[in-house]
Amino acid sequence: MANTQKEADEIMETGYFELVESATDEGVPGNTPPSGEKHTKTSLKKLSAEEQKDLIIELGGEVEGTNNEDERVALILQLQEAGE
């Protein structure tokens, strides 16, 4: 992982690597299912805790009310259904 833009540019110039994710991206690609599909329990469990928390915030939920992965996943599924 590059710590500065200059480092990232130098790494990219080598041609050995490609950018697949950026820590500064708004909403990490991959958090949103393609073609308007819904998240499933399985797909949500593949996300990191931080990605799950970001998704809760994007859906308008409160992260503070969740203490573990199961609670985060349940809340995301609930918020997703409410948002339809």
Residue boundaries of the structural domains of the chain? 26-82
Task: Please check whether residue 50 is in contact with residue 44, taking contact to mean a CB–CB distance below 8 angstroms.
Answer: no
3-state secondary structure of 13: helix
User: What is the pLDDT tens value at each position of the chain, 84 positions in all?
Assistant: 667 878 777 777 787 776 665 554 444 445 556 556 788 999 999 999 999 999 999 999 999 989 999 999 999 999 999 877
Q: In 3D, which of 41, 81, 36 has the Cα closest to residue 61?
A: 81
Q: pLDDT (tens digit, 9 = 90+) per residue, 66-76?
A: 999 999 999 99
Claim: this prediction has a pTM higher than 0.75: no
The C-alpha torsion from 71 through 72 and 74 to 75, rounded to 10°, is 110
